[in-house]
Structure 1
Amino acid sequence: MSVEVKVPTLGESVSEATIGQWLKQPGEAVKADEPIASLETDKVAIEVMSPVAGVMGAQIVKEGDNVAVGALIATIEDGTPAAGAEPVAERTEAPVAPASASEAPVAAEDPVTLSPAVRRAVLEHGIDPASIKGSGKDGRITKEDVLAAAAAKSAAPAPAASAPAAPAPAPASSGGRAEERVKMTRLRQTIAKRLKSAQETAALLTTFNDVDMSAVIATREKYKDLFEKKHGVKLGFMSFFAKASCLALKDIPAVNAQIQGDEIVYFDYVDLSVAVSAPNGLVVPVVRDVDSMSFAEIEKAIAGYGKKAKEGTLTMDEMKGGTFTISNGGVFGGLMSTPIINPPQSAVLGLHRIEDRPVVRNGEIVIRPMMYIALSYDHRLIDGREAVTALKTIKEAIEDPARLLIDL
């Protein structure tokens, strides 16, 4: 007896998705409520669960196909896998053809199911996927896992040679330059459309400032152990910038407003969108009512969203809304950038790396841990004076964190 597996309801206003990856192959045992496929929508990846226990049957659609809500995508059959069956050979997709004979494809017998982005990273860096411990959901390998393994491999010291090694044979030339075509994921297509729309619709402008991080670093260093012991979460810099942003948005309401048609909508609350890097692209979950949250609540919310983004388990509701965005390019080493707004929002704060730089204090040149910050804004709604003032308020609150306590 076969049980049909159909595309589940994906959320408000979402009518279709793309088959991102089959997590089970025909003939493999399946447990009830075990994920058998991942779907990519315009915003998040959603796993399709098996309604019953049994054996994976037919896959009605292929990876990369678009499917509507309610569409039949697979069947689950009664029974158990045949004894002695070798489903592993079927499980992994055929490897991408290497650009030259020197590039080793992913072994067909590798038992790890790799997404297209991960498979490409494995090929580019020459990493054996069997040697990587996956950090994704159910132990699946993410692109970040491959990059970390590649970094560790390049950092490893070369073994001492007691005798000259035989020269390796020169790799055969492919006689040309390689190209690879990879279909854009639905998420990446949506990101591209939204960012291009932001450029075409908003009058984008960016103002910059720099922040002396000495006071925040000293505060964090003094209280981080007590903070983690009491609240069970680490004290980071994001909570300081979130609270400082709330001060600025309260003083300059236009930065927390939106243009809707021929009206301006002002919000008396702050729903903070936090840009987070996920395996399939940048996602922006929303921390609701951040203006009324404590430092610990903010840190817990951001840490939870970061974990869910890495696992690909963010829901549609967690991505909806937002009145202001913070994007931290500093975690990747960025020194300065012009962040782009997240429509229909009107402003975004960009954070960057902290580095020691010479600055003048009381007529003397001293070394301080400095960070460039940037505020991109929609000039249709926000004047330059308002943008500069908002960014200056954030700077002053970070350089004197007591302001966060006395609402100054």
Structure 2
Amino acid sequence: MTTAVIIVAAGAGLRVGGEVPKQYQQIGGQAVLRHTVRAFQRHEGIDHIQVVIGDNHDELYRAAVSDMNLPEPVQGGTTRQASVYNGLQAIAALKPTKVLIHDAARPFVDTEIISSVIDELSRSPGCIPAVAVADTLKRTNDGIIVETVDRSGLWGAQTPQAFRFSDILKAHVSAAASERADFTDDASIAEWAGLDVAIIPGRPENTKITTSADLQQAEKRLNTRTSEMLNDVRVGHGYDVHAFEDGDHVVLCGLKIPHTRKLKGHSDADVGLHTLTDAILGALCEGDIGKHFPPTDEKWKGAASDIFLKHAAKLVADRGGMISHVDLTLICQAPKMRPHVDAMRVNVAQIIGIAVDRVSVKATTTEWLGFTGREEGIAAAATATVRLPE
């Protein structure tokens, strides 16, 4: 192994507000942490990604990075320094040559910055991206300016901060042994240990989300970047039918709905999720659900259909795209769908990682005509709008 990344996601993130830490709050319908992880997964020079999480964050973490094929997270410590140390120890057995340490709340790190800090390690033991301080700096006391600080030579540090693995691990071990716990970033630990740390130009966009205003700005930036980069707009169509058989409920959009019969199928026969899956696959020109999950494969017998829909969503993400909107129509005489539509929308939004206001679920009947009118089964039709980079 050559290059590993430690993503520090153990903080409480209280200043941003809300019910969950900032790394698990959403921008563009997905957790901040997921955007950050994806930035490193897309870089061909990264061999291993290790996330460090806080106490009681397990459920939030798994919801944020489901199906991203990450190793088990490492529990953080009481300080950022301790959390990074835990992460370094966790990957020591992998013997990486280089390690990048990155804040989970910096989702806009780009490929150029990642490449630049990795390349600099061939010349320096450590390297960080930073932005030169442009504003005049003032030192205050009780809200009164007492001094103007010379800004020449001053830089605002960013992440990822990159180091030769053995050097930064040794520096952290020494800091822990000396009972130093006041370092605010890894470059300061490296400096204290006598390592030379180079600076490369960072980007203003590679900012850290700290406040609610930062979160709102990140949402706007993501929308702008999406509009600029994802210009290949595609619409896929899906259609599916499942017959009824003996049972006491149907599964639709992941919900169990009481009924006098159930739907027949190799998996859980969720006609809603199957149709949405086909719509997304159609937008990608990736065939249909049967190509990816053959009904002849016993592995999928009785499987929950969210597996199929998550797979389709991951194919979009792997191509650097996003699902912009989905629209599903369920066609049947019974059971009644209207009481369940809102919960279905929430379920679908969570499965594919988009905002609920981008998910439409409707229901209609065929006025007692055809097989659905005779209550022999349920049909569904869907469209999915997908945006990909050109």
TM-score by length of 2: 0.23
TM-score by length of 1: 0.22
